[in-house]
Amino acid sequence: MSAASRRLVLAGIALLIGMIATVSIAMVDTRNHALEAARTETERLAKAIAEQTAVAFRATDIVIAAFRDEIESKTYATPEAQAAGIVTKEFQKELDRQATLLPQADAFTVVDASGHLSNYSRRWPPPHLNLSDRDYFRYFRDHDDRGIFLSKPVTNRGNGLWTAFLARRIDGPSGQFFGIMLGAMDLSYFRNFYREVAQHENLAITLVDRQGRVLASYPYDLPPGQRPKNLTAAWDRALAKPHPSVMTGPGLLDGSARIISVHPLADYPVVVNVSVSASGALAGWRQQAALTALAAVFAMLCMILLFRAIILQLRRLERSEADLARNSNTLSTTLDHISQGIVMIDGQGRVAVCNRQALAMLDLPPGLMASNPSAETVFAYQVAAGEFPDAEEEHRYRGSLYADKPVTYERQRPNGRILEVQCVPLPDGGVVRTYSDVTERRQSEERIRYLAHHDPLTQLANRTLFTARLEEEIARANQGAHRLALLYIDLDRFKYVNDSHGHGAGDALLVKLAERLTLTVGFGPTIARTGGDEFAIILPLDGPQHDASHLARDIVTAVRQPLEIDGNAFRASISIGIAHYPDHAKSASDLLRNADIALYEAKNEGTGLVRAFDAGMEARQQALFRREQDLRSAFELKQFEVVYQPILSTVSGCVAGAEALLRWHHPIHGLVPPADFITLAEKLGLIEPLGFWVLETACKEAAQWSLEIGVAVNLSPVQVNSETLARQVQQILERTGLPPHRLTLEVTEGLLLEPNPTVLSTMHALRALGIRFSLDDFGTGHSGLGYLRRFPFDAIKIDKLFIQDMVEHADAAAIVNALLAVSVELGLEVVAEGVETAAQLEMLRSRQCQYVQGFFLSPPLPAAEMRLFVLEPRPFPSCPDPVLAAEPPAIRL
């Protein structure tokens, strides 16, 4: 049982005890009151009865006294005379008349001094009777008492009725005892009177004398003249008292408890006892008490039932409270363990629930929230704490407090966290507010959005963002009626950087490039990386600038500045194509295409070039495109041919070898020179198969030649960078049966920016087989003589530019001289290319240039012609020295 139930039970018991006590006290009190009332009533009745009794006595006594006075007033000379005066018939009649008048008086008698009847109201003459033995006679004879005397009751000798005598002394003229005046009191008179009274009042009335002898009684039938057996000492004392008293004592008849009013008569020695039985006096009370007790018992029963019901209810309440507490505990534990912050505001606007997360998320003081504050108080606190950056935010918060529809919004707290607030109104006018920290989500969304629109490497806009921006800028240009330039940028020979230096270096180069673009262009225009090594810039021409060429050239210059990657110096180069809106295109896609065409053109023309789109470009572009298509199919259509340009020795004047040169027989355009399609083939990725086809064809052809002279094959940089080159070459040699020492591989210096490990190891591997390397177009590249030390070359080919200029230009001749001198120093063979005149040949020969190649000596020859050329060694066309022609040396160039 719970403490509350226990308390309730104790309270119930206390209440019951209190109730019993109160009822008991009330009952005792009403009992006392009933007894008191009975006493009072008994007293009142006793008084009335006593008065009435006294009246009866007094009336008799008055008659007695009157007769006495009359007798005494007759002054006779002698007592005898006096007596004689009394003993008369008239006197008897008077006595009788008086006796008849008083119902209580049975008879009046005059007794003389000797005790004889002098007169008697009943009879004339009076009977002979001596009463001198009677108590009243003796008393008055012996006592000179003017008072009254009451005899003890006796049965009347005449009629047998119980009688008591009232007596007074009659004095003689000289005061001597003359006789007695007697009044016989009929005691049945009193009994009858008492019967009258007692019948109505349910009383017991007893008239006794002072000695306690019964005179008359009703309803008891006590024998007169005797003291009742039950007369107690207390009663005796009460009888002796001069004034009335009330006592409770045993009844005279049966000893049952009674309320007894003892009322002595003042003038007569009798006492009226009026009693009611205590039980009778309490009958009303008892009934009332019984009813009260019944009501109390009923009330108590009701109370017990009520208490029982209350306790049961309490228990149920406690149980449901416990359940509630358990549920509430479960609920608050649950609320505290969910990731969202929850605040519930009840219909009275008070915060009924605020979980731990909400406290933490909103930085609310736990003390405040535990006090069940009003939402307004919390709001005021938040405003004071600077929670809301502006009035609008405050307004929004307030609106959400009183919204009648679900509201969801986000707000950023001063600490930077982003909260998603969901407000759901409740039917009672309250609201549940749910807080979710969406900072990470928003950040990652932001990050995803960023990644979706940016290139992770360079952090520039990606193609998606670029396309969107382009549309936007076009719309803006339309609105502002200004022009727009689109710059397409392509990194020259990026593939080479990637292949030769690894992707790390390639990436680093792209990053550096992006930096330089941004530095040059600024942050205003959109700069995007649209592909591997492709970039684009959207340049709104809404300022003073009218075209983008200046900027493009600045970019090219900026990019060309040397840069360092992994400790190595690089020199990057870019090509730029530009198209203008709306000049060159009416839509974004057209603009893109045209910028691309311009870029293509720039790339086609070389490196580091800027080209703006023009109308003719498109036609050229289309031609180029067709050429690409043609080139792709040329291989299968067997439109390629390898021709061989003989290389002659200036010493012997005989053929020392030949350079294999590729030819494309285009069905429409006829013979397309390699310069027009080698770059294209490189771009299209066709150069490798094509290159190896040339190699295999040339080796096979050379192996057929009747002289064991060398054959030189040009390698594209792509091939040289290939790790499989050495194996491929070896396989080709094996297949064709050409001895390795007869093969020379020509590479251009331009490709060898750095001592690339792949290139170097390939060269060493091939040289180990006996294959030779010659440096092609020597003199035209950037790096000069340093190459000759760094790479294992066997020969150099002096570019035709120098050869063609050397006769007329002293500087070209000087360069050729220097190159020849250096090659001698380095032990390299030298081939002079592009020898077109006898003068050139002569000059070279005079400077001990060993080998010559050029139209003056022989154009590139188809294979069949070359075979003939080898078969019939011809001296130089205008060779002045027949010796040379006569002694063909063993050449293995």
Q: Point out which residues bind ligand C2E (CB under 6 A).
A: 645, 661-662, 673-675, 678, 691, 694, 714-716, 746, 776-777, 800, 833-836, 854-855, 860
The smaller minimum CB distance to ligand C2E, of residues 135 and 805, is found at 805
Shortest Å distance, C-beta 621 to ligand C2E: 23
Shortest Å distance, C-beta 716 to ligand C2E: 4
Query: For residues 342 and 374, what is the distance between their CA atoms, to the nearest angstrom?
Result: 15
Shortest Å distance, C-beta 662 to ligand C2E: 3
The smaller minimum CB distance to ligand C2E, of residues 61 and 829, is found at 829
Shortest Å distance, C-beta 642 to Ca ion: 13
Shortest Å distance, C-beta 681 to ligand C2E: 8
Query: For residues 3 and 1, what is the distance between their CA atoms, to the nearest angstrom?
Result: 7
43-51, 128-136, 451-459, 776-784 -> range binding Ca ion (CB under 5 A): 776-784
**Binding-site residue total for Ca ion (CB under 5 A)?**
5
Shortest Å distance, C-beta 828 to Ca ion: 15
Cβ–Cβ < 8 Å for 807, 840: yes
The smaller minimum CB distance to ligand C2E, of residues 95 and 660, is found at 660
The smaller minimum CB distance to ligand C2E, of residues 307 and 692, is found at 692
Residue 746 binds Ca ion (CB under 5 A): yes
Give the single-character DSSP code of 741.
G
Strand positions, DSSP E, 57-126: 105-112, 117-120
Give the single-character DSSP code of 222.
P
The smaller minimum CB distance to ligand C2E, of residues 61 and 777, is found at 777
Residue 293: CB atoms within 10 Å: 16
Residue 749 binds Ca ion (CB under 5 A): no
* Partner from ligand C2E, Ca ion, none binding residue 855, C-beta < 5-8 Å depending on class: ligand C2E
* Partner from Ca ion, ligand C2E, none binding residue 673, C-beta < 5-8 Å depending on class: ligand C2E
Shortest Å distance, C-beta 509 to ligand C2E: 25
158-166, 288-296, 507-515, 770-778 -> range binding Ca ion (CB under 5 A): 770-778
Query: How far is the CA of 98 from the CAs of 66, 101, 342, in angstroms?
Result: 11, 5, 117
Query: In sequence order, what are the beta bridge partners of 272?
Result: 207, 263
The smaller minimum CB distance to Ca ion, of residues 668 and 675, is found at 675
Query: For residues 389 and 455, what is the distance between their CA atoms, to the nearest angstrom?
Result: 35
The smaller minimum CB distance to Ca ion, of residues 86 and 798, is found at 798
Shortest Å distance, C-beta 647 to ligand C2E: 10
* Partner from ligand C2E, Ca ion, none binding residue 577, C-beta < 5-8 Å depending on class: none
Query: For residues 297 and 483, what is the distance between their CA atoms, to the nearest angstrom?
Result: 110
In this structure, what token pair is assigned to residue 635? 């291989």
Query: How far is the CA of 201 from the CAs of 33, 219, 245, 249, 280, in angstroms?
Result: 19, 11, 20, 19, 11
* Partner from ligand C2E, Ca ion, none binding residue 217, C-beta < 5-8 Å depending on class: none
Residue 776 binds Ca ion (CB under 5 A): yes
The smaller minimum CB distance to ligand C2E, of residues 507 and 836, is found at 836
Binding letters toward Ca ion, positions 686-725, x by CB under 5 A? ----------------------------x-----------
Say how many CA atoms lie within 13 Å of 223 toward its Cβ.
Answer: 5
Cβ–Cβ < 8 Å for 753, 494: no
* Partner from ligand C2E, Ca ion, none binding residue 576, C-beta < 5-8 Å depending on class: none
* Partner from Ca ion, ligand C2E, none binding residue 61, C-beta < 5-8 Å depending on class: none
Show Cβ contacts of residue 665 under 8 Å, excluding neighbours closer than 6 positions. Answer: 639, 640, 641, 671, 672
* Partner from Ca ion, ligand C2E, none binding residue 694, C-beta < 5-8 Å depending on class: ligand C2E
Binding letters toward Ca ion, positions 543-582, x by CB under 5 A? ----------------------------------------
The smaller minimum CB distance to ligand C2E, of residues 58 and 874, is found at 874
Residue 649 binds Ca ion (CB under 5 A): no
| Residue showing tokens 């535990």 | 370
| Residue showing tokens 């200029």 | 805
Show Cβ contacts of residue 120 under 8 Å, excluding neighbours closer than 6 positions. Answer: 92, 95, 107, 108, 109, 110, 126, 127
DSSP assignment of 551-611 equals HHHHHHHHHHS-EEETTEEE---EEEEEEEETTT-SSHHHHHHHHHHHHHHHHHH-SS-EE
Shortest Å distance, C-beta 840 to Ca ion: 15
Residue 209 binds Ca ion (CB under 5 A): no
Shortest Å distance, C-beta 789 to ligand C2E: 23
Query: How far is the CA of 117 from the CAs of 114, 182, 408, 451, in angstroms?
Result: 9, 10, 136, 161
Q: Name which of 126, 145, 128 is nearest 86 in CA terms.
A: 126
* Partner from Ca ion, ligand C2E, none binding residue 153, C-beta < 5-8 Å depending on class: none
Shortest Å distance, C-beta 673 to Ca ion: 13
Query: For residues 765 and 762, what is the distance between their CA atoms, to the nearest angstrom?
Result: 5
Residue 313: CB atoms within 10 Å: 11
**Per-state percent for the chain, helix, strand, coil, to nearest 5:** 50, 20, 30
Show Cβ contacts of residue 138 under 8 Å, excluding neighbours closer than 6 positions. Answer: 132
Shortest Å distance, C-beta 709 to ligand C2E: 18
Binding letters toward Ca ion, positions 9-48, x by CB under 5 A? ----------------------------------------
- Reported for 158-162, long-range contacts at CB under 8 A and 24+ positions apart, including other chains, are 158/107, 158/122, 159/106, 161/106, 161/186, 161/187, 161/188, 162/186, 162/187, 162/188, 162/216, 162/224, 162/225
The smaller minimum CB distance to Ca ion, of residues 42 and 714, is found at 714
The smaller minimum CB distance to ligand C2E, of residues 27 and 715, is found at 715
Give residue number: closest CB to Ca ion.
746
Please state at what angle helix 687-704 crosses helix 674-683, rounded to 10 degrees: 130
Shortest Å distance, C-beta 804 to ligand C2E: 7
The smaller minimum CB distance to Ca ion, of residues 150 and 662, is found at 662
* Partner from Ca ion, ligand C2E, none binding residue 836, C-beta < 5-8 Å depending on class: ligand C2E
* Partner from Ca ion, ligand C2E, none binding residue 118, C-beta < 5-8 Å depending on class: none
Strand bridging mode 640-649 / 851-852: antiparallel
Residue 777 binds Ca ion (CB under 5 A): yes
* Partner from ligand C2E, Ca ion, none binding residue 775, C-beta < 5-8 Å depending on class: none
In this structure, what token pair is assigned to residue 67? 């007769």
Grouping H, G, I as helix, E, B as strand and the rest as coil, residue 778 is: strand
DSSP assignment of 296-321 equals HHHHHHHHHHHHHHHHHHHHHHHHHH
The smaller minimum CB distance to ligand C2E, of residues 12 and 860, is found at 860
Shortest Å distance, C-beta 775 to ligand C2E: 11
The smaller minimum CB distance to ligand C2E, of residues 458 and 714, is found at 714
Shortest Å distance, C-beta 675 to Ca ion: 11
| Residue showing tokens 């200036």 | 650
Grouping H, G, I as helix, E, B as strand and the rest as coil, residue 657 is: strand
* Partner from ligand C2E, Ca ion, none binding residue 508, C-beta < 5-8 Å depending on class: none
Give the single-character DSSP code of 350.
B
Query: For residues 103 and 121, what is the distance between their CA atoms, to the nearest angstrom?
Result: 14
Query: For residues 433 and 411, what is the distance between their CA atoms, to the nearest angstrom?
Result: 13
Cβ–Cβ < 8 Å for 200, 129: no
The smaller minimum CB distance to ligand C2E, of residues 513 and 870, is found at 870
6-14, 151-159, 783-791, 826-834 -> range binding Ca ion (CB under 5 A): 826-834
The smaller minimum CB distance to ligand C2E, of residues 162 and 856, is found at 856
Residues of the shown chain interacting with Ca ion in the complex, contacts defined by CB under 5 A: 714, 746, 776-777, 833
